[in-house]
Amino acid sequence: MKNIDPVKALDDKVERLKKDLKSLGDRIDNAQTDAAQHKLSTTNQVRDTTRKIAKTNERVTELAESVHRLERLLVALNRKVRAGETRKADFDTWPEIGKPLIARILAGQEAYARKTFTPQEAKTRRRAVAEYDRQAHEAIDAAEALTTLPPNAESLWRKKYKQWQTIVGKQRPEAPDDNEHAGDAAAKTAGNEAVAQARELIRARIEDAVANDLLFPAWFENMLGPAAPPGKADDWLYTATDVVLYRLLHDITSPASALGTAPQEQGHRRTLHDRLIVECADYRKP
């Protein structure tokens, strides 16, 4: 009968387990190494792809700029060719829109910019003025009384002094001017009529230039493009009319810039300038 040492058998089993554990650890290490290498490879591929995309985007941007420059050169060349063969449209000389008409338009704009009272606001303001005047008369009477009161009339003195203080530091509200209100209303009506008249004259000349294929001024094409976009002819004509009117109202004479320097102050001119900038940018889109 074979004699088996139980301690040795246990040691042999432990050794086999150690070998199995080491083998398993090596397999795990190898798997982790492979995963790390695969991740690194994938990361490198992503970086390479990103760099390629970036280079492609740069190239596309360069090509777009080149196309834009080419378009501008073609436009300039087209203008030179047309200038030698085509009659030019005159959108800078307007003897039929004289200074009196321009003055009526500007006066109407100023009237719209001024604060006007509604009938209810005017009524409320007149009441405030009347109340101020009443308190002012009482204060004056109280001040005069203070100079004649006897020294022992302390309570009466306090009363008169309080009446005087009610008006000190206050300002009389501005009363509505019915004449000014009526004048503004007349100026607004005259201004609106003048605007309609000027627009009609300007639009007719622009339509004539389009119909006869005349060469537009450089500032006009820079602002509105060489022609009306498809499907937007009427809107384009409306905006073009306002661009010419803006130049006339504000004495813009630049041969390149349609609207000149942007106004800094808020008001009708700034509002119209900003609207024309947005509308014309839309018409110049490819």
- Span 77-103, pLDDT tens digits: 565 565 556 688 999 999 999 999 999
**Judgement on whether residues 130 and 222 belong to the same structural domain of the protein:** no
**Judgement on whether residues 104 and 198 belong to the same structural domain of the protein:** yes
**Judgement on whether residues 160 and 191 belong to the same structural domain of the protein:** no
CA angle 174, 175, 177 (to 5 degrees): 120
DSSP conformational letter for 2: -
Q: What pLDDT is attached to residue 250?
A: 94
Distance CA 258, CA 220 (A): 6
pLDDT over threshold 80, residue 21: no
Q: What pLDDT is attached to residue 26?
A: 72
Q: What pLDDT is attached to residue 2?
A: 47
Paired tokens of 9? 């058998």
Domain end position, chosen among 175, 192, 223 = 175
Q: Report the domain count for the chain.
A: 2
Q: Residue 19: inside a domain, yes or no?
A: no
Q: Residue 202: inside a domain, yes or no?
A: yes
**Judgement on whether residues 104 and 216 belong to the same structural domain of the protein:** yes
Higher pLDDT residue, 149 or 228? 228
Neighbouring residues of 220: CB distance < 8 A, sequence distance ≥ 6: 89, 91, 240, 243, 258
**Judgement on whether residues 284 and 200 belong to the same structural domain of the protein:** yes
**CA neighbor of 165 nearest in space, from 176, 173, 157:** 157
Query: Which range has the worst mean pLDDT, 62-71, 194-203, 260-269?
Result: 62-71
The CA distances from residue 91 to 207, 244, 273, 281, 284, in Å, are 12, 7, 18, 20, 19
Q: Residue 68: inside a domain, yes or no?
A: no
Domain end position, chosen among 140, 175, 210 = 175
CB atoms within 10 A of CB 92: 14
Question: Whole-number mean pLDDT of the chain?
Answer: 78
**Judgement on whether residues 200 and 103 belong to the same structural domain of the protein:** yes
Q: Residue 35: inside a domain, yes or no?
A: no
Domain end position, chosen among 132, 158, 175 = 175
pLDDT cut 90: percent of the chain above it = 32
The CA distances from residue 94 to 91, 203, 222, 247, 283, in Å, are 7, 12, 21, 11, 25
Q: Residue 75: inside a domain, yes or no?
A: no
Neighbouring residues of 193: CB distance < 8 A, sequence distance ≥ 6: 104
Q: Residue 24: inside a domain, yes or no?
A: no
The pTM (predicted TM-score) of the whole model is 0.55
Give the domain range for residue 148: 118-175
pLDDT over threshold 70, residue 206: yes
CA end-to-end distance (rounded Å), the chain: 103
**Judgement on whether residues 93 and 146 belong to the same structural domain of the protein:** no
Q: Residue 207: inside a domain, yes or no?
A: yes
Neighbouring residues of 202: CB distance < 8 A, sequence distance ≥ 6: 94, 97, 241, 244, 245
**Judgement on whether residues 149 and 266 belong to the same structural domain of the protein:** no
**Judgement on whether residues 132 and 216 belong to the same structural domain of the protein:** no
**Judgement on whether residues 110 and 122 belong to the same structural domain of the protein:** no
Distance CA 119, CA 110 (A): 21
**Judgement on whether residues 141 and 215 belong to the same structural domain of the protein:** no
Q: Residue 71: inside a domain, yes or no?
A: no
20-34, 129-143, 176-190, 218-232 — which one is most confidently predicted on average? 218-232
**Judgement on whether residues 125 and 168 belong to the same structural domain of the protein:** yes
pLDDT over threshold 60, residue 1: no
